[in-house]
């Protein structure tokens, strides 16, 4: 049960400043990145008209997300599509890692979802300013009345908080439940079922929710 609060650390001293890294999160994120790069290489290595198995898998994913992005974004903003599908692949594979014994989800560390939430926030606002112009963009903050401006700003910032804590809470919650129940039943029968539900099912849904919300934030800003 001590696993709950035990975080492995790496320390790095830079000119008097000590940086602290969560080594588990870093290694697992690199693992996810390696898998995505390997998959991208395999899927696009030999592009043919009659696709091989890896290319088929890649095409299925791209075409599934293309429709969603085309529904949400206007013609001029469709170039965010690669970003959206990359976020999905990263978050989804991160959530899946926890199912494999010995590995853990990088999304279990709040810093990972927060990094992606902040990334999505800046991209959405950049897209908004670029599409509408700075004047129309700023004008949205004083809707419906000028004194609502502070609340609108807090509301925008709270989107980052909500999107990242939602993913973190679900993944962390799943792993806590699995840990506690496994401890109670001495690892018999139940843990694989719980892994299937919280790891695969909830993990997939939350990865999709995270991606869709990033997409929706961009779409709301560019409307």
Partner 1 sequence: MAFSADIWVQAAAYLGAGFAIGFGAIGAALGEGYAAGNASRAIGKNPAMSGAILKNMLIGQAVAESAGIFALVIAMLLAFIGTEGAPLIKAFALMGSGLAMGLSAIGSGAGSGFPAAEACVGIAENPSTQGTLTTNMLIGSAVSQTPAIFGMVVAFMLMFIDWSGQPLWPGWAAVLGAGLAVGLAAIGSGVGSGMPAGAATAGIARQPSAATTIRTNMLIGSAVSQTPAIFGMVVAFMLMFIDWSTSPPWPTWAALLGAGLATGLSAIGPGIGNGFTAQEAAAGIARVPEASGPVTTTMLIGQTVAQSTVIYGFLVSLILLFIPREASEAMTAWVAPLSAGICMGFGGIGPGVGEGLAAAYTVNRIAKFHEEQSVLLTRVMLVGQAVSESTGIYSLIVALLLLFVI
Least distance to partner 1 from the beta carbon of 154, Å? 5
151 binds partner 1 (CB under 8 A): yes
Residue from 176, 181, 191, 200 in contact with partner 1 (CB under 8 A): 176
Residue from 8, 82, 133, 173 in contact with partner 1 (CB under 8 A): 173
Angle between helices 111-132 and 149-184 (to 10 degrees): 150
CA-CA distance, 114 to 42, in Å (whole number)?
30
Token code pair at residue 7: 């975080």
Least distance to partner 1 from the beta carbon of 45, Å? 31
* Residue 40 vs residues 50, 87, 91, 92, 210: alpha-carbon distances, Å: 18, 14, 16, 15, 22
174 binds partner 1 (CB under 8 A): yes
9-17, 39-47, 78-86, 141-149 -> range binding partner 1 (CB under 8 A): 141-149
26 binds partner 1 (CB under 8 A): no
CA-CA distance, 197 to 140, in Å (whole number)?
41
* Residue 111 vs residues 26, 117, 118, 175: alpha-carbon distances, Å: 10, 10, 10, 17
Which x/- pattern over 181-220 shows residues binding partner 1 (rule: CB under 8 A)?
--------------------xx--x--xx--xx--x--xx
Residue from 27, 130, 166, 182 in contact with partner 1 (CB under 8 A): 166
6 binds partner 1 (CB under 8 A): no
CA-CA distance, 200 to 178, in Å (whole number)?
13
* Residue (43 or 65) nearer to partner 1, CB: 65
40-48, 85-93, 116-124, 175-183 -> range binding partner 1 (CB under 8 A): 175-183
Site size toward partner 1 (CB under 8 A) is: 37
Angle between helices 53-72 and 203-221 (to 10 degrees): 40
Q: Which residues bind partner 1 (CB under 8 A)?
A: 1, 4-5, 68, 71-72, 143-145, 148, 151, 154-155, 158, 161-162, 165-166, 169-170, 172-174, 176-177, 180, 201-202, 205, 208-209, 212-213, 216, 219-220, 223
């Amino acid at each position: 049960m001590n696993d709950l609060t035990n975080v492995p650390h790496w320390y790095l001293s830079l000119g008097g400043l000590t940086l602290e890294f969560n080594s588990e999160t870093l290694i697992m994120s690199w693992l996810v990145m390696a898998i995505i790069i390997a998959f991208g290489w395999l899927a696009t290595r030999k592009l043919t008209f009659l696709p091989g198995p890896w290319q088929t898998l890649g095409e299925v994913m791209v075409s599934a997300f293309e429709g969603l992005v085309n529904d949400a974004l206007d013609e001029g903003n469709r170039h965010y599509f690669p970003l959206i599908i990359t976020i999905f692949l990263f978050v989804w594979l991160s959530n899946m890692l926890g199912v494999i014994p010995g590995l853990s989800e990088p999304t279990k560390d709040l810093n990972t979802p927060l990094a992606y939430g902040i990334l999505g926030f800046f991209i959405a606002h950049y897209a908004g300013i670029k599409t509408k112009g700075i004047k129309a963009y700023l004008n949205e903050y004083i809707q419906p009345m000028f004194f609502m401006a502070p609340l609108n700003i807090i509301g925008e910032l709270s989107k980052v908080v909500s999107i990242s804590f939602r993913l973190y809470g679900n993944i962390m919650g799943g792993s806590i439940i699995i840990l506690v129940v496994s401890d109670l039943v001495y690892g018999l029968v139940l843990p694989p079922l719980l892994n299937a539900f919280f790891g695969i099912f909830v993990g997939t849904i939350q990865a999709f929710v995270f991606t869709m919300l990033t997409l929706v934030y961009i779409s709301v800003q560019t409307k």
